[in-house]
């Protein structure tokens, strides 16, 4: 029977008569909705946030860098918070958060709760794909048993796969369609169905032998980045003591045409991937009596960076005869990376918290984030982005460059600010006002 179901679903996908459901309409789910809409599929977007649902149904985007024109042009698209409609779709793609808890352990509650919901509506012949980043084994060992509470068996009655997201918000050169898509299936037939699905929206599908392997691929990609960023962050602190500019060193080193890839230091890690995903493997490794020392050391260094920036700011203010207590500080950039409106896990929140704990009065400017968003870790307040004018810059005792947005003019900032702590190497020329951190 599973053979017939497998062939039937592939035929529906190939003829684009399959109905696609995407759970979680954020930075990962929304591009998928757009891609399948653009390819001509009937798409349903599921989310518990009614505001997102209503905005999409009105043809409005809540993520600035994502163009939702294909959704508006797809008369078959519908966003909903009614999860009973999961029974109406042929494919269910899970794109929900996988954060860490306060003990830096994986919080799988979003994935497993979603699995519980799906199990209530799961029917024979459907494909379920997890895209949320998890530890190796999570799809088979944790999600599958939850889905099978439906009474259906994975690989027999329904198909199960894992395909890690590879989104890079704000990157205009790469989008879902031209980034190769890694896919692992619970069984060979599960893999074949998932390959058929993604081949309709991406240029290249990269099949691997299992869901565990696909899960490990995503972790390797982000651990690679985390470790290398930690390396340059450590070198930044060392070279600062030695009177060497780390950004000048990197620019010269990257002229080598082989054996070197440039990574850049900053005030700490941000985003939903690099600062979080490595700890999923660290946690899982304990099950095998294994210590992931490189990952943990990189985490220690990257987690320390906001404290380093605060200390450099205190020292810079002291040289000006100003105490951190009562000092007015402006953070330039709230987003975790340049030219996006994504503030998830941004080091700016930790910097804000540390400065305020020491008695400083902190404001921020970010052209992409007009209001301070709510986060899981930090208490929301009523802060709004301060207009970036010469008059405003001159009011602050110190301006801390947290995000190097393209709209930030280094010359304008240097001209009007009293003191600048630059964590991103935005200001290239030496100036007595500027302290690199």
CA 425, distance to chain mean position in Å, is 23
Rounded Cα–Cα distance for residues 408 and 369 (Å): 14
53 neighbors 47 (Cβ within 8 angstroms):
yes
Q: In b/e form, how buried is each residue of 121-136, taking b as 16+ CB within 10 angstroms?
A: bbeebbbbbbbbbbbb
Rounded Cα–Cα distance for residues 123 and 153 (Å): 10
pTM: 0.91
pLDDT (tens digit per residue) in 199-243: 999 999 999 999 999 999 999 999 999 999 999 999 999 999 999
| Residue 273 a catalytic site member | yes
366 neighbors 333 (Cβ within 8 angstroms):
yes
Other CB atoms within a 10 A radius of the CB of residue 137 amount to: 16
Q: Write down the pLDDT at residue 156.
A: 96
**What secondary structure letter does DSSP report for 26?**
S
Please give the backbone phi and psi of residue 213, each rounded to the nearest 5 degrees, phi first: -65, -45
Q: Write down the pLDDT at residue 315.
A: 97
**DSSP states of 284-334:** HHGGGT---HHHHHHHHHHHHHHHHHHHHHHHHHHHTT--STT-EEEEE--
**DSSP states of 110-139:** HHHHHHHHHHHH--TT-EEEE-S---TTII
Indicate if 225-436 has the same CATH topology as 2-211. Answer: yes
Which candidate in 95, 190, 273, 398 is catalytic? 273
3-state secondary structure of 84: helix
The verdict on domain 225-436 having CATH code 3.40.190.10 is no
Residue whose C-alpha is closest to residue 311's, from 346, 270, 275, 267: 267
Rounded Cα–Cα distance for residues 212 and 326 (Å): 52
Residues 6 or more apart whose CB falls under 8 angstroms from that of 86 comprise 21, 46, 92, 117, 118, 121, 122
Cβ contacts of 282-290, under 8 Å, gap ≥ 24: 283/104, 283/105, 283/106, 283/135, 284/135, 284/136, 284/137
Rounded Cα–Cα distance for residues 424 and 437 (Å): 8
Q: Cα–Cα distances in Å, from 1 out to 89, 160, 357, 401?
A: 20, 16, 63, 60
List the domain boundaries for the chain.
Answer: 2-211, 225-436
Q: Cα–Cα distances in Å, from 72 out to 31, 33, 45, 59, 78?
A: 13, 11, 13, 5, 10
Rounded Cα–Cα distance for residues 232 and 52 (Å): 38
Q: Write down the pLDDT at residue 1.
A: 42
Q: Write down the pLDDT at residue 344.
A: 85
Report the chain (437 residues): mean pLDDT per 10 consecutive residues.
80 97 94 93 96 91 82 86 97 94 89 98 98 96 98 97 86 84 98 98 97 97 94 97 96 97 92 78 94 93 96 97 97 94 91 96 96 71 90 97 97 97 95 95
**What secondary structure letter does DSSP report for 88?**
G
CATH class of 2-211: alpha beta
């Amino acid at each position: 029977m599973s053979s017939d179901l497998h062939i039937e679903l592939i035929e529906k996908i190939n003829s684009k008569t399959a109905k696609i459901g995407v759970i979680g309409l954020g930075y990962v789910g929304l591009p998928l909705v757009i891609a399948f809409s653009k390819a001509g599929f009937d798409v349903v977007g599921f989310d518990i946030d009614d505001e997102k649902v209503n905005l999409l149904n009105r043809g409005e985007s809540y993520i600035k860098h994502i163009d939702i024109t294909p959704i508006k042009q797809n008369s078959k698209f519908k966003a909903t918070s009614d999860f009973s409609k999961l029974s109406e779709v042929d494919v269910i793609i899970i794109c929900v958060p996988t954060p860490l808890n306060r003990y830096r352990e994986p919080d799988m509650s979003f994935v497993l709760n979603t699995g519980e919901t799906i199990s209530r509506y799961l029917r024979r012949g459907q494909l379920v794909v997890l895209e949320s980043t998890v530890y190796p084994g999570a799809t088979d060992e944790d999600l599958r048993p939850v889905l099978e509470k439906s009474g259906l068996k994975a690989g027999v009655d329904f198909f199960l796969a894992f395909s890690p997201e590879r989104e890079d918000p704000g990157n205009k050169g790469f989008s879902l369609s031209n980034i190769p898509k890694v896919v692992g299936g619970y069984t060979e037939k599960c893999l074949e169905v998932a390959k058929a699905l993604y081949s309709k929206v991406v240029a290249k599908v990269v099949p691997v032998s299992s869901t565990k392997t696909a899960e490990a691929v995503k972790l390797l990609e982000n651990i690679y980045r985390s470790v290398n960023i930690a390396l340059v962050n450590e070198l930044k602190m060392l070279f600062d003591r030695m009177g060497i500019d780390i950004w000048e060193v990197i620019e010269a080193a990257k002229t080598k045409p082989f054996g070197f890839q440039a990574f850049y230091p900053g005030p700490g890690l941000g985003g939903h991937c690099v600062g979080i995903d490595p700890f999923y493997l660290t946690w899982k490794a304990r099950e095998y009596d294994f210590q992931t020392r490189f990952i943990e050391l990189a985490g220690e260094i990257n987690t320390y960076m906001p404290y380093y920036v605060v200390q450099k700011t205190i020292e810079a203010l002291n040289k000006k005869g100003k105490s951190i207590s009562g000092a007015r500080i402006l953070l330039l950039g709230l987003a975790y990376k340049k030219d996006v409106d994504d503030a998830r896990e941004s080091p700016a929140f930790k910097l804000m918290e540390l400065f305020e704990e020491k008695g400083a009065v902190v404001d921020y400017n970010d052209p992409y984030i007009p209001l301070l968003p709510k986060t899981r870790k930090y208490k929301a307040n009523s802060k709004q982005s301060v207009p970036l004018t010469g008059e405003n810059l001159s009011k602050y005792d110190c301006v801390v460059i947290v995000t190097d947005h393209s709209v930030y003019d280094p010359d304008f900032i240097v001209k009007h600010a009293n003191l600048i702590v630059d964590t991103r190497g935005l200001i290239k020329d030496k100036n007595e006002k500027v302290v690199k951190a």
